[in-house]
Amino acid sequence: MRPRERAYLGSVAGMAGRYEYKVVELREGLIGGKMSGQKLEKVLNDHAAQGWQLRAITAVEVKGRIGPGGVEGVLVTFERGVD
């Protein structure tokens, strides 16, 4: 299963420069289940290879693909500088 990704552009005033943000929703399976450490590690390493730095991991309830309601998952927030 491929994680859902959303990219957000943001800027920080001053000497810090401009940053781009990406939020990836992760959940295991169509109707939930335990989050795989290997899956999370792959997502982190794949994004690091593209220059993204981990900013936060937040536990959330995300919409499942089958039926009403949500399933437990995580939002993984990445940041990288933009020119």
How does pLDDT run across 59-81, given as a tens digit for each residue? 887 665 566 666 678 899 999 99
Distance CA 38, CA 15 (A): 37
pTM: 0.69
pLDDT in tens, 32-59: 556 678 888 999 999 999 999 999 999 8
Query: Residue ranges of the domains in the chain?
Result: 4-82
Q: What is the pLDDT of residue 39?
A: 86
Provide the H-helix boundaries in the chain. 37-49
Per the model's pLDDT, the better-predicted residue between 56 and 16 turns out to be 56
Distance CA 31, CA 41 (A): 21
Distance CA 63, CA 69 (A): 6
Whether residue 82 is predicted with pLDDT greater than 70 in this model: the reply is yes
Task: Single out the residue of 79, 40, 76, 32 nearest to residue 58, CA to CA.
Answer: 76
